[in-house]
């Protein structure tokens, strides 16, 4: 099911805004998975606020970008300011090379591993396949974030958007923003909450978002997050 698209990202491009909106939810996410390692600033800012035992797993099927991400992971552990870190990037972030549609089912352990936050940022026409590969592992209340849902909404992302907006398993909303590298181009992020295959109680993430939405309604002002969850 889908809700209206009120709100917008704080900051300029959707990288900054998306980070500012999702970051408060990350402490509730014990398992965060993202497909495509191109927007590397996403990982390095958010892995630090994961709960104890939380982890980020990122898939990249392009070898060049995979090696770039590995290099950034190494750099993130260098320098004096990182010398005293109790938790290193490699302790929380894992990179997987290959097509997530094939690799993800091999990496996850059925019945044991769950996904709390799934970020999709790859080839638009493949988003739906990625989601369906991850769906058996989604925790009820998990967030599914699809990048560039504005610029590709009428093209390669259309089947994906039709799926999450019409399915009873999701509550979905397009939050508008600017394109990462073009402030004059309108874009959007599709935020979908996985409701589960059947009746289920709200997860900590869903409960937190509902509380925020209620607060926004009371204050009568806009919010960079979802207006209704």
Q: For residue range 155-201, list pLDDT tens digits in order.
A: 888 999 999 999 999 999 988 877 766 777 778 889 999 998 854 44
Please give the pLDDT value at position 86: 61
Give the highest mean pLDDT range of 110-119, 120-129, 164-173.
Answer: 164-173
Would the pLDDT of 82 be above 50? yes
pLDDT band at 91 (very low <50, low <70, confident <90, very high): confident
* pLDDT reading at 79 higher than 90: no
**Which of the four pLDDT bands, split at 50, 70 and 90, describes residue 15?**
very low
Query: In the predicted model, what is the mean pLDDT of residues 122-146?
Result: 91
Which pTM does this prediction carry?
0.68
Average pLDDT along the chain: 70
Residue ranges and CATH numbers for the domains of the chain are: 8-202 (3.40.50.150)
Q: Tally DSSP H helices, then E strands, for the chain.
A: 9, 8
* pLDDT for residue 170: 96
> Within 13 Å of residue 46, how many CA atoms lie on the same side as its CB?
32
């Amino acid at each position: 099911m889908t809700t209206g698209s009120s709100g917008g990202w704080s900051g300029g491009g959707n990288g900054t805004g998306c980070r500012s909106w999702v970051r408060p939810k990350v402490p509730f996410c014990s398992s965060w998975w993202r497909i495509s390692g191109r927007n590397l600033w996403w990982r390095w800012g958010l892995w630090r606020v994961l709960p104890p035992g939380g982890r980020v797993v990122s898939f990249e099927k392009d070898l060049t970008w995979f090696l770039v991400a590995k290099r950034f992971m190494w750099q993130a552990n260098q320098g004096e300011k990182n010398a005293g870190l109790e938790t290193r990037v490699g302790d929380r972030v894992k990179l997987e090379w290959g097509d997530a549609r094939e690799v993800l089912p091999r990496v996850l352990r059925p019945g044991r591993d769950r996904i709390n936050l799934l970020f999709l940022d790859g080839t638009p026409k493949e988003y739906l396949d990625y989601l369906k590969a991850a769906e058996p592992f989604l925790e009820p209340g998990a967030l599914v974030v699809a990048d560039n849902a504005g610029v590709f909404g009428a093209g390669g992302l259309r089947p994906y958007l039709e799926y999450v907006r019409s399915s009873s398993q999701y509550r979905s909303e397009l939050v508008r923003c600017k394109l990462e590298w073009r402030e004059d181009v309108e874009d959007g992020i599709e935020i979908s909450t996985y409701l589960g295959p059947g009746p289920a109680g709200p997860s900590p993430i869903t409960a937190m978002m509902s509380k925020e939405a209620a607060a926004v309604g009371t204050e009568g002002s806009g919010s960079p997050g979802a207006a209704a969850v």
